[in-house]
Structure 1
Amino acid sequence: MRRFILAAAIILCPAAAQAWGGTAHAVIDRAAIAAIPADGPVFLRRHADYIAASAALPDTWRGDAEGFSKIEEDPNHGWFREQFAFLKPIPRSRYEFILALYKRYEVIKDSDPATAVRTNVRWTGTLPYAAMEAYDRLIVCMRAVRSAQARGVDGSVPEQHCAFQTIRLGHYIGDGSQPLHDSVNSDGWRGPNPNGYTRDRSIHGRFESGFVDAIGLTPADIMPRIGPLAHRDGDMFDAVLRFLDQSGDRVETVYRLEKRDGFRNPADADVRALIYERTAAGAAMLRDMLCRAWSESASLPAKVTPSPLDFTNPRFNPETGSATP
């Protein structure tokens, strides 16, 4: 009976195989929070158990039965950069990005229908936008935490708001640190395959869940690999794009290692090293973004004049009805 229940759970929850498994997501979040320096948002440590236990929550918003949620959420977990190599620079607006994909689709739908059918928001992904949206919301709720601290009143509610946004941000950054979330080859090699890489869709789960669980990944495994605080300044959206590119550059490494023994050997030092490096990179990026959001929350919101919704704003785009950030 227990086996039957487990099998049924796997069948009914396919999203579980679409991201770092629950173990790695929880490890990334715990390590990031533990690595926050004394002048950072250390209040998040009070919520570490809640954050880690909820680390895979955004995957539950992707079920086929919840169509509206799935359509909105599914693209937030990937960034298939081969699909939009034509697009430079990457727009700073989620909606400008989506419109650019559609315009490309219109251009190639007759001449290259096979590519056109995947030139859309679902088959390219919107991960950096989801991450930046959670990051902005963190700044807002962290201002409320600071206000409560300054007034000497209970700040538990804004802290909880920050913990929830940390769950969201941590999930997207965690996904982005997994190379198979940054390529069209996310679930088996697509297209020309001169190196004979597997086309088996199960590579995704075997790498990020099967192997991770087999080695018993813990925060202690990656804490020494996180490194000093970075991203104290500079454009955060650009930093997220660089982070995703660095992860995407390791896609072939995943496939080469899989070709050796299919991730069947938990003692494989090379696969372990890749898992440690990638989860540490995710934890470092999450820690940096949490600390940067805390730093930005010390300032009052910048006055944007004209408003991003004002037609006279020089960056206003009538196709989206707003100015880019």
Structure 2
Amino acid sequence: MKRLAALALAGLVVTTPSTVLAWGNTGHRIIGEAAVRALPSDLPAFVRTRQAARDVGELSREPDRSKGSGKLHGHDRDAAHFVDLDEEGKVLGGPPMLPLAATRADYETAMRAHKLDQWQGGYLPYAILDRYQQLTTDFAYWRVLKAAEANRKWSKNRAWFREDRIRREALILKTMGELSHFIADGSQPLHVTVHYNGWGDYSNPNGYSTAKLHGPFESELVQANVKPAAVWAKMTSPRSCACPIEQRVTDYLVATGKLAIPFYELEKAGGLAPGDPRGPAFATDRIAVGASELRDVIAEAWRASENSKVGWRPVAVKDVLAGKVDPYPALYGID
């Protein structure tokens, strides 16, 4: 992804853009599959199958596989994979990430006040929130279609309800894959720090490495050493935040960003050297955190979907589930 380094302690320093990716194919695939395998039983059966886990694991790679589609495509999307926080929690030394601006437009306004923009600093929290909200809506449509399909009063449109439910199930797996990708990015400390590929042009009294560590850590090291069973064993118990999703996402990213210095301390101590167990253990822990968070955010989206409205003119999911409103006009479209 194209990234510009930013504020050093002495002032604004712009470096040559460099290209770094997210977790490699192995890491993204493991996170998607492990999360789906661990989904709680109250979610629909179709998202809890072995095939669904494999599909989400593969689809989780799509935001990287689409790179190179064109200048416009890449310029808009590449910055979705990261947010460059400094040690004070500021984006490129400019505005603090917390509290999170309500929209990307508001975020851009805050960045421009510091002569920066979101394509320099990254907009990872918004990429996660966007996919969470889409998944919530996808689940809401699925709930309505499933209920309508089963309701005898609305049997004249049952065939359409069934067909649209099947279409929605495919969309849900796609959205889950995209959500998987960005939550996974958020578990990798080098995606949540200004020191994203070596310490960079910053004050460095501790002598942290300035080598390009990003790719070798998240790709080669992971592919050679991280095993799905080890990730599964490290996953945490399900956790509901009982808080706004914006808070959950930002808390998650801030916690990851705080591991940037421990990562460089690990590298300095030789922990990333071939054969040293500390690097694979660190990567396994972070991938397990990503899988655990993805599982829990998918579950949050499912539960939130019950309180949604769908279609035009909108109908409440709960009214359809209760058999009060035939959703066909709102779903098929009354223009």
TM-score, normalised with respect to structure 2: 0.76
Structure 1: gaps spanning 5 or more residues? 1-13, 106-118, 303-325
Distance in 2 of aligned mates of 1:84 and 1:157: 44
Which amino acid in 1 is paired with 2:30?
V
Please point out which of 270, 294, 308 is paired with 1:300. 308
Distance in 2 of aligned mates of 1:84 and 1:147: 46
Structure label with greater radius of gyration: 2
RMSD across aligned C-alpha pairs, in angstroms? 1.9
Please point out which of 218, 237, 240 is paired with 2:246. 237
- Shifted more, 81-90 versus 189-198: the winner is 81-90
Match of 2:52 in 1: 47
Q: Pairwise mapping of residues 9-24 of structure 1 onto structure 2 (< 5 A)? A: 17-24=20-27
Match of 2:187 in 1: 177
1:195 aligns with 2:206: yes
Match of 1:282 in 2: 290
Please tell me whether the aligned partners of residues 174 and 279 of structure 1 are also in contact (alpha carbons under 8 angstroms). Answer: yes
Which amino acid in 1 is paired with 2:84?
F
What SS does the corresponding residue of 2:269 show, helix, strand or coil? helix
Match of 2:74 in 1: 70
Change (3 A) 1:145 1:89: same
What SS does the corresponding residue of 1:43 show, helix, strand or coil? helix
Note the C-alpha offset of 1:143.
1.4
CA deviation string 1:45-97 (max 9, x = no partner)? 3422222123221013332x611111110110001122155335221211100
Please tell me whether the aligned partners of residues 140 and 309 of structure 2 are also in contact (alpha carbons under 8 angstroms). Answer: no
Distance in 2 of aligned mates of 1:234 and 1:208: 31
Distance in 2 of aligned mates of 1:73 and 1:184: 19
Please point out which of 144, 149, 152 is paired with 2:146. 149
- Shifted more, 255-264 versus 234-243: the winner is 255-264
Distance in 1 of aligned mates of 2:44 and 2:221: 32
Please tell me whether the aligned partners of residues 230 and 288 of structure 1 are also in contact (alpha carbons under 8 angstroms). Answer: yes
Match of 2:7 in 1: none
Note the C-alpha offset of 1:241.
0.5
What SS does the corresponding residue of 2:114 show, helix, strand or coil? helix
Note the C-alpha offset of 1:32.
0.5
How many residues align? The count is: 271
What SS does the corresponding residue of 1:177 show, helix, strand or coil? coil
Please tell me whether the aligned partners of residues 231 and 239 of structure 1 are also in contact (alpha carbons under 8 angstroms). Answer: no
Distance in 2 of aligned mates of 1:86 and 1:127: 15
Please tell me whether the aligned partners of residues 206 and 263 of structure 1 are also in contact (alpha carbons under 8 angstroms). Answer: no
What SS does the corresponding residue of 1:122 show, helix, strand or coil? helix
Match of 1:168 in 2: 178
Please tell me whether the aligned partners of residues 185 and 191 of structure 2 are also in contact (alpha carbons under 8 angstroms). Answer: yes
Please tell me whether the aligned partners of residues 225 and 280 of structure 1 are also in contact (alpha carbons under 8 angstroms). Answer: yes
Which amino acid in 2 is paired with 1:22?
N
Q: Pairwise mapping of residues 1-325 of structure 1 onto structure 2 (< 5 A)? A: 17-44=20-47, 45=49, 46-63=51-68, 66-82=70-86, 83-84=92-93, 86-87=95-96, 88-105=98-115, 119-150=116-147, 151-152=149-150, 153-154=162-163, 155-190=165-200, 191-201=202-212, 203-215=213-225, 217-231=226-240, 233-261=242-270, 263-266=272-275, 268-301=276-309
Which amino acid in 1 is paired with 2:73?
S
TM-score, normalised with respect to structure 1: 0.78
Distance in 2 of aligned mates of 1:233 and 1:40: 18
Please tell me whether the aligned partners of residues 236 and 289 of structure 2 are also in contact (alpha carbons under 8 angstroms). Answer: no
Distance in 2 of aligned mates of 1:218 and 1:158: 32
What SS does the corresponding residue of 1:20 show, helix, strand or coil? coil
CA deviation string 1:161-210 (max 9, x = no partner)? 11111111110000010000000110110211112111112x00111111
Please tell me whether the aligned partners of residues 211 and 264 of structure 1 are also in contact (alpha carbons under 8 angstroms). Answer: no
Which amino acid in 2 is paired with 1:58?
P
Please tell me whether the aligned partners of residues 19 and 175 of structure 1 are also in contact (alpha carbons under 8 angstroms). Answer: yes
CA deviation string 1:132-163 (max 9, x = no partner)? 11111101111122123222435321111111
Identity of aligned residues (%): 29
Structure 2: gaps spanning 5 or more residues? 1-17, 87-91, 151-161, 311-335
Which amino acid in 2 is paired with 1:213?
Q
Please tell me whether the aligned partners of residues 94 and 111 of structure 2 are also in contact (alpha carbons under 8 angstroms). Answer: no
Note the C-alpha offset of 1:232.
5.0
Which amino acid in 1 is paired with 2:298?
L
